[in-house]
Structure 1
Amino acid sequence: MSFRMAEEPKGVPLADLSLQQLGELQKNCEQELTFFQESFNALKGLLSRNEKSVSALDDVKVATTGHTALIPLSESLYIRAELSDPSKHMVEIGTGYFVELEREKAKAIFDRKKEHISKQIETVEGILKEKRRTRAYISDAFQTKVQAQLATMNTHCSHLQRFDFRSLEEFRDVKLVVGSEVGTAICTIGNTKVMAAVSAQIAEPSSMRPNKGVINIDVDLSPMANVSNEHDRLGSKGMELIRLLELIIRDSRCIDVESLCIRAGSEIWKVRVDVRILDEDGSLLDCACLAAITALQHFKRPNVSLEAHHTLIYSEYEKAPVPLNIYHMPICTTIGLLDKGQMVVIDPTEKEAACLDGSIVVACNKRREVCALHQSTNLVLTTKQIERCVKLAMARAEALTAVVSSIIKEDRQERSAFKRPDGFAITTPSLILTTGTAASRQIKAPVTKREPESPQRSLYQPSVIINENPLSVGSVKQEEVDEDELLAEQLTTIQNSVGQVAVTDNQSTVMSNRKREVEEVNNLLEGLDDSEEDEEIQTMILGPSEPGENTKMVVEEEAAPMGLVKRKKKK
């Protein structure tokens, strides 16, 4: 009897994959590596908690009944209580499920947990090593394929062509817009888009700098900017971006931090710059730096006045806000390097950056001062190569400084003329706000025949009756009834109804009146005194002989009350 062994899964050789496929594979490997690293850290935390539980069992072992201890109600809330039975413990056997066990059984459960978690940690640790090895293989294959493609290319400047048909030393278009609220700006370089917002609040200064304000920079890498970004997680790229922005803006001393002091040693202005990455397609640092600098130029802090024991903060309607004291504007320029720095690629896109040997970032101002210099790789550059990059960055800084100054000047002129700026509304294209005419949609149903029903006439029936069949399109028939005939029939019906109601009302009224009059006459006759009156009063009530005739009352004397007729008879 023979068994056929299952075939082992065959992998795809990395050399057979294209450059784009290798890039996607590298991103997937990075995401898997991040997931397993987080799982490894979580298991380490569980193991630490389990060890703390075992040590807590040993501490309670010497306790007696009535012993006072701190009992946890939550992870950070404890109360003081007395132990009723130190030999029994509440042990968590699941998420939110606890069981009361003896000390020996509880310790056995913790030992089993420790063994299980340790095995899981070993498994995940092995997976991490394998994933790191795979990432290294993919990265080497990616770099090898890039170098192979570059080697087959003619590297002369006249033969190279970029994806967007720019020359090697040509920048992309820059769009810069300030918001209707002070301290907000959006910068767009090609497809890269960054928004910056500046805010300020009063805080206490540090003991080392009691008379200087504080400038903090925060970066948010939105997942919609790049699929590799995670919400509320910066990663190495985000941390590098924050450090470079702090180096360019804060450490270059472009802002007068001493002017942000309110009271030396007690109150200062704490300025915060929030940078949000909306879209990412190369030159991310250039776009973020330009947006942050424009937002700082556009920002105005509230005006304050110092009193003896307090500080008054005025609104913009009471006193005009105060702009920041900015000495210069550092502008960032990213320059890609090819062929060991012999070729430069100005303002590379994300796809172009993947094919570069490295890049250099130069931050300078219009006064031709270099504020920061950063190189992304360990590529060795000569002095001439660095000077060439610095010259390109200086020309770029002069042009963008003029753009920022003109935008801020126009915004202040509009605000001084009491005109509210359009703000970010001008960045929304009209195609998004308007849509084309929608095509008409008709539902066609099969034509069916329907016999017209005789209309039921009522008191409030309309004078025109229309018989419609909504299912038969184009076959609607309208039958009009003569209005005069219907009107005559309605009047006759109303008249008959009114006559019947009137007769019924008259009959009921006559009967009730006769009964009431008879009762009144009897009451009057009973009250008369026969001894005082010699005359006999005869009361006669005249009424209709038939119930259908109208009742008439004849009164011979006007003084006779209640329609009574009095006749005197001789004794």
Structure 2
Amino acid sequence: MAEEYKSLHPLKYYRDYYSHDIRPDGREFFDFRPIIVNVGSITTADGSAIAKVGKSTVICGIKAELCRPKPESPKEGFLITNLELPSLCSSKFKPGSSNEQAQVLTQLIANIIENSKCINLEELCILKDKLAWCLYTDLICLDYDGSVLDACLIALMACLKSVTLPHIDYDPALDIKQANLEDRKPLNVYSTPITTTFAIFDDKIILSDPSNEEENLCTGTVSVAVLNDQELCSVHKPGGSPLSEQQVMDCIEKSKLRSRSVKKLIDAALRDMICQKNIS
């Protein structure tokens, strides 16, 4: 009966719950869903990770390839990010069609990574104007259930921290490259940007970590990116209901608290990966 009522009158269904300061899944307004992080699951990649935020699941893999630096940036390598939202992850995405949301999220993720300066692109350069690393970062959403940006950043940061690059012997005169696969060094990651998404319902109720159903019914969203637990990186609000200055500050404070626990979770997953490698 409840499911029929929900499908016929979704807005009223949610309003009835919110009027009692609780959400249909049992969470309070500022509660978050559980997070799971697994690192190193793709053995053929130079770095990989899976992140789950509630039911939202994103897998990230990084493949490192050698390339020539851009003429305008002869001392820098590349970090190229791409997100796929295939039809298998949600019925809202149709097979074979271009996905505008995936393009928007891809650019947003790239902006957060650039603004956070978590990677020094000059460290990816092997020889100025001659040879550099290009890190192709592919994110694929396996299950879409809201707050996918948050799951993407968790998977991406865990993946970057798991990357190791082989030493390259390069003779520029003969243009001969040789990789020493036994001599690998971890990628330096200087900050950990973590995003937290909030939904605005009926122009007044703020919900943290919204599910897909809540996102579909909300009147606006805001995503806050925080660096290293405390430093604000960016606030992304694509239109919708306005927020007061106090509401924005509340979202930022909640994001800082959450980013601290998420960073600890990523570090714990990395330690587990190292321990498994040492045992094997």
TM-score normalised per structure 2: 0.89
Query: How many residue pairs get matched?
Result: 273
Structure 1 residue 252: Cα displacement: 2.5
Whether contact under 8 Å (1:196, 1:292) holds in the other structure is yes
Structure 2 residue matching 1:316: 3-state secondary structure: strand
Deviation beyond 6 Å, 4+ runs, structure 1: none
Say whether 1:387 aligns with 2:249: yes
Return the alpha-carbon distance in structure 2 between the equivalents of residues 206 and 194 of structure 1. 31
Residue correspondence of structure 1 range 205-244 to structure 2 within 5 A: 205-231=69-95, 233-244=97-108
Say whether 1:323 aligns with 2:183: no
Return the alpha-carbon distance in structure 1 between the equivalents of residues 35 and 15 of structure 2. 34
1:308-343 alpha-carbon deviations (Å, 9 max, x no partner): 5235433433x2x12111111101110112343x43
Residue correspondence of structure 1 range 100-139 to structure 2 within 5 A: none
Structure 2 residue matching 1:397: 3-state secondary structure: helix
1:51-78 alpha-carbon deviations (Å, 9 max, x no partner): xxxxxxxxxxxxxxxxxxxxxxxxxxxx
Structure 2 residue matching 1:314: 3-state secondary structure: strand
For structure 2, the 5+ residue unaligned runs are none
Residue correspondence of structure 1 range 297-336 to structure 2 within 5 A: 297-309=161-173, 310-317=175-182, 319=183, 321-336=184-199
Return the alpha-carbon distance in structure 1 between the equivalents of residues 181 and 17 of structure 2. 61
User: Relative to structure 2, which stretch is displaced further, 230-239 or 171-180?
Assistant: 230-239
Identify if the C-alpha distance between structure 1 residues 287 and 209 changes in structure 2 by more than 3 Å, giving closer, same or farther: same
Structure 1 residue 263: Cα displacement: 1.3
Residue correspondence of structure 1 range 307-456 to structure 2 within 5 A: 307-309=171-173, 310-317=175-182, 319=183, 321-340=184-203, 342-415=204-277, 417=278, 419-420=279-280
Whether contact under 8 Å (2:47, 2:163) holds in the other structure is yes
Structure 2 residue matching 1:377: 3-state secondary structure: coil
1:16-53 alpha-carbon deviations (Å, 9 max, x no partner): xx87469xxxxxxxxxxxxxxxxxxxxxxxxxxxxxxx
1:273 corresponds in structure 2 to 137
Structure 1 residue 306: Cα displacement: 3.4
1:455-485 alpha-carbon deviations (Å, 9 max, x no partner): xxxxxxxxxxxxxxxxxxxxxxxxxxxxxxx
Return the alpha-carbon distance in structure 2 between the equivalents of residues 20 and 355 of structure 1. 12
Whether contact under 8 Å (1:186, 1:196) holds in the other structure is yes
Return the alpha-carbon distance in structure 2 between the equivalents of residues 233 and 315 of structure 1. 42
1:391-412 alpha-carbon deviations (Å, 9 max, x no partner): 0001111111111112212322
1:473 corresponds in structure 2 to none
Structure 1 residue 285: Cα displacement: 0.7
For structure 1, the 5+ residue unaligned runs are 1-17, 23-144, 421-571
Identify if the C-alpha distance between structure 1 residues 152 and 323 changes in structure 2 by more than 3 Å, giving closer, same or farther: closer
More strand by share: 2
Select the residue among 270, 286, 290 that pairs with 2:154.
290
Letter in 1 for 2:33: R
Q: What percentage of aligned pairs have identical amino acids? A: 24
Whether contact under 8 Å (2:56, 2:151) holds in the other structure is yes
Return the alpha-carbon distance in structure 2 between the equivalents of residues 378 and 213 of structure 1. 38
Structure 1 residue 349: Cα displacement: 0.6
Identify if the C-alpha distance between structure 1 residues 357 and 150 changes in structure 2 by more than 3 Å, giving closer, same or farther: farther
Q: 1 or 2 for the larger relative contact order (CA 8 Å, sep ≥6)?
A: 2
Letter in 2 for 1:345: L
More helix by share: 1
Identify if the C-alpha distance between structure 1 residues 378 and 354 changes in structure 2 by more than 3 Å, giving closer, same or farther: closer
Say whether 1:186 aligns with 2:50: yes
Structure 1 residue 275: Cα displacement: 0.4
Return the alpha-carbon distance in structure 2 between the equivalents of residues 259 and 266 of structure 1. 14
Residue correspondence of structure 1 range 558-569 to structure 2 within 5 A: none
1:262 corresponds in structure 2 to 126
Structure 2 residue matching 1:371: 3-state secondary structure: strand
Return the alpha-carbon distance in structure 1 between the equivalents of residues 162 and 17 of structure 2. 47
Return the alpha-carbon distance in structure 2 between the equivalents of residues 367 and 164 of structure 1. 28
Calculate the aligned-residue CA RMSD, in Å.
2.4
Letter in 1 for 2:25: D
Whether contact under 8 Å (1:215, 1:250) holds in the other structure is no
Structure 1 residue 152: Cα displacement: 6.8
Identify if the C-alpha distance between structure 1 residues 153 and 227 changes in structure 2 by more than 3 Å, giving closer, same or farther: closer
Return the alpha-carbon distance in structure 1 between the equivalents of residues 167 and 17 of structure 2. 61
Say whether 1:177 aligns with 2:177: no
